[in-house]
Chain A
Amino acid sequence: MTPERMLAPMLSLRDVNTHIAQYHILHGVDFEVPRGSLTMLLGRNGAGKTTCLRTIMGLWHASAGSIRVDGRDITRAETPDVAQLGVAYVPENMGIFAGLTVRENLLLAARAAEPDAKRLDWIFGLFPAIKTFWNALAGNLSGGQKQMLAIARAIVEPRKLLLVDEPTKGLAPAIIGNMVEAFKELKRTETTILVVEQNFNFARSLGDLVAVMDSGHIVHTGGMDALAADAALQTRLLGFSLDAHQ
């Protein structure tokens, strides 16, 4: 790897615009996710966070601007090509295949070869439920178990970049605690992670960096600590709703 590529961020968006049908959703989004960092993408409902992730994945195409992953331009790339570059995506609805077993869900996510026992044991360590319900239909899992499966699926093979859309959505506090631990473990593997989140406590306990969106723009970027310490800034960027969140 050339030194420039090493220094280049894992993910960078430059002036990305996205239209869905006749609606203009992203109005020039600019931000970067440095290698090995966990970046939180925050913002109110409808700010464009999910659209942002979907545009990176190529599920919607940017009408202007450019997106680079690990130095490669993927602005016009199709979804499978983006995934093959090493980008894993956990959508907001988790995208679990309900009619497939837990095992089959993981088998499908392992593209290169069947994952070895060591990797599986590591995943079972993160999410014991996966082991317990190995042969159960994924559709019969609880919401929290589904979320664990969705994340397990994303990391069943080593990936460069993880895009996770609201991993805490609809989860009970105890399970959110598990989730925090799992992400902390993931951070130790130096995987680059971008998480869209509404739950500020969750975001604060994990994020290295933060980007805040509003109405299709990035309105703030910086360290998570700085934002966590600045209540006035939080209120201005995110409104009061986040404090009420927990």
Chain B
Amino acid sequence: MTSAIASPPRDAGSTLPGTRLDWIPLALIPAIALLALPLVSSLPTWVTLSVAGLAMGMMIFMMASGLTLVFGLMDVMNFAHGVFISVGAYAGASVLTRMTGQMQAESVLSNLSAMVPAVLAAIAVAGLLGWFFERVVIRPVYGDHLKQILVTMGGMIVVEQLIHVVWGPDIIPLPRPATFTGAFFLGDAAIERYRVLAVIVGLAVFAAMWLLLNRTRIGLLVRAGVENREMVESLGYRIRRLFVGVFVAGSGLAGLGGVMWAMYQESVNAQMGMQMMVMIFIVIIIGGLGSVVGCFVGALLVGLLANYTGFLAPKLALGSNILLMVLVLLWRPRGLYPIGKG
């Protein structure tokens, strides 16, 4: 009885397309990789670059996904999203620098015993800051974009300064854990261990988000809320609570991305979040504001392109993502996966 709605009714023949994934943007990822292969001309180099690009893309995805969901759900653009990245990185670094023993040990388990608490600390501190930020800074300016931009910029300035107050003004060096340092060889291709870890974590985050969004009732609510907030409320759901949850989760994810990025860069500084913001904005614009799948595809495209151009034409590398954004917007003005606002 209860499963009546979960399973299709007898003789339910759906002649309309039911698949919701548009595969063309997804196909761009292998397309760009294959296009780069003859240009790079060396297979091992290409493999190395591709892994580096995927790793970078995965970390950008972690940092950007929360921002795009928050925008989709509540029409709020948080220009201070970058500070959650920085704060997460600092929180993680605080744990890691106290556990140098476990970090330097040549044992994966021992390394993980430092990294897991560091990652949890990053998520927790960034999430907590997100909760506070939503209540104090953003709540009074719902519906007013101009004030949102200004107030979140102000919040960014203040939190960045507070980072200096709490953690000091200097860059904190952050060595990678011993077993994730260096590279291994796949044929002739050198692959950095840490990058493989980043890809695994990124895939896990994406898979978890995808399952949450597509297989749970909360996910259903979030997807519906992104499309039409008013209608979700008219159906009797308190979307505010949902929004706070998404905001906190998104901030936590940014914190996770922050600590991952910090270990990748092997250092932490207060501006690192803001330095990522331009790239994050580009990624979520490319993906289509509000779309998690779009954000994922956009992040991977940006990551791959940055690494290929970095090798082929270093001078172009930093600007490559902007060129990509322009091209994507010329093709699809609302991004790869535009969200239909009902």
Q: Which residue of A lies closest to B337 (CB)?
A: A99
CA distance A135 to B235 in the complex (A): 21
What number of B residues sit within 8 Å (CB to CB) of A?
Answer: 37
Check B231 against A91 for contact (C-beta < 8 Å).
Answer: yes
0/1 interface trace, chain A 102-122, chain B, CB 8 Å (1 if under): 011011111101111100100
Complex interface: chain B residues within 8 A of A183 (CB) = none
Complex interface: chain B residues within 8 A of A137 (CB) = 16-18, 20
Is B236 part of the binding interface, using a Cβ–Cβ cutoff of 8 Å? yes
Is A132 part of the binding interface, using a Cβ–Cβ cutoff of 8 Å? yes
In this complex, the interface size class of chain A, counting residues with CB under 8 Å from chain B, is 35 or more
Is B230 part of the binding interface, using a Cβ–Cβ cutoff of 8 Å? yes
Partner of B227, one of A59, A99, A101, A109: A99
Partner of B9, one of A80, A114, A124: A124
Q: Which residue of A lies closest to B236 (CB)?
A: A83
Check A120 against B4 for contact (C-beta < 8 Å).
Answer: yes
Partner of A59, one of B5, B11, B234, B239: B234
Complex interface: chain B residues within 8 A of A57 (CB) = 234
Provided the pairs A83-B233, A115-B5 are in contact, do residues A134 and B14 lie with their beta carbons within 8 angstroms? Answer: yes
Chain A residues numbered 74-88 whose CB sits less than 8 Å from any CB in chain B: 78-80, 83-84
Complex interface: chain A residues within 8 A of B230 (CB) = 59, 79, 91, 95
0/1 interface trace, chain A 87-100, chain B, CB 8 Å (1 if under): 00101010111111
B307 to chain A, nearest CB (A): 32
Q: Which residue of B lies closest to A58 (CB)?
A: B233
Q: Which residue of A lies closest to B17 (CB)?
A: A140
CA distance A34 to B111 in the complex (A): 70
Check A131 against B9 for contact (C-beta < 8 Å).
Answer: yes
CA distance A204 to B11 in the complex (A): 36
0/1 interface trace, chain B 52-65, chain A, CB 8 Å (1 if under): 00000000000000
Is B13 part of the binding interface, using a Cβ–Cβ cutoff of 8 Å? yes
A and B contact pairs by CB, cutoff 8 A, 12 listed: A59-B233, A83-B233, A95-B342, A96-B342, A99-B20, A104-B224, A106-B5, A114-B3, A114-B6, A133-B14, A135-B8, A137-B20
0/1 interface trace, chain B 221-248, chain A, CB 8 Å (1 if under): 1011001101111111111000000000
Complex interface: chain A residues within 8 A of B4 (CB) = 114-117, 120
Complex interface: chain B residues within 8 A of A91 (CB) = 230-231, 234
Is B340 part of the binding interface, using a Cβ–Cβ cutoff of 8 Å? yes
Is B220 part of the binding interface, using a Cβ–Cβ cutoff of 8 Å? yes
Check B13 against A132 for contact (C-beta < 8 Å).
Answer: yes
Chain A residues numbered 113-165 whose CB sits less than 8 Å from any CB in chain B: 113-117, 120, 124, 131-137, 139-141, 153
Is B12 part of the binding interface, using a Cβ–Cβ cutoff of 8 Å? yes
Check B12 against A131 for contact (C-beta < 8 Å).
Answer: yes
Chain B residues numbered 298-325 whose CB sits less than 8 Å from any CB in chain A: none
